[in-house]
Amino acid sequence: MRGTCAASATVVLVVATLAGCGASGSPAAADPKPPPAPAESNPPGDIPDNQVYVVFKPPTGGFTVSVPEGWARTSTGPVTAFTDKLNRIEVSERAAAQAPTIASVTARDVPALAKAVSGFAPGKASEVTRKSGKALLYTYQGNTAPDPVTGKAVRDAFERYVFHHDSRDIVLTLSGPVTADNVDPWRTVTDSLRWP
């Protein structure tokens, strides 16, 4: 019995000694400060708040619109496109005797978009007001072309504005990933449309 008590006392002494050694370490070593949180980055497709815009005037003249500076520009027939990473702005014009209506956009434009846009999902047509006047807005979703390297497509949200002036329509189509928050940049672009 005495041997058992002696052994228990030895164990208690060793544990107490180890605990004391742990407590004698520096507070910084025992409780280090957490590292700084990583800087927040914009979600894919978000256009930076400090984006600079430049004025685009088509060869035919008749209107101007501001587009983000530095974006790649391509032209195919009546369509001029500005792209940067996951975002795209298309500018085009067409002859039109009358201003578009929700009914005309739904009857004429939506079926054409459904055929042309991969993974087309219909949205909503509405009338909106911008600085240059009223426009017909049609929102919808679709898939981008597959990435040539990864083969993956991105799900995009589209805003298609049709402005009417002097027997023609100006069509601005703005697109980017559905997760992006580009409300302010798209408003900047659509508010910038000017007639001569």
- Would you state the structure tokens that stand for residue 98, as one six-digit string? 């009358």
CA dist 94 → 73, 86, 99, 100, 168 (Å): 20, 27, 12, 12, 6
H helices of the chain, in order, are 2-23, 27-30, 102-104, 110-116, 183-191
The pTM (predicted TM-score) of the whole model is 0.76
The DSSP 8-state label assigned to residue 31 in this structure reads S
Residue 60 neighbours by CB under 8 Å, 6+ apart: 93
pLDDT (tens, 9 = 90+) of the chain, 196 residues, equals: 444 444 444 434 333 443 444 444 444 455 555 454 333 345 678 898 899 999 999 988 899 999 999 999 999 988 999 999 899 999 999 999 999 999 999 999 999 999 999 999 999 999 999 999 999 999 999 999 888 898 889 999 999 999 999 999 999 999 999 999 999 999 999 999 999 8
Task: Strands of 12-117 (E only): list them.
Answer: 53-56, 65-68, 72-76, 79-84, 87-95
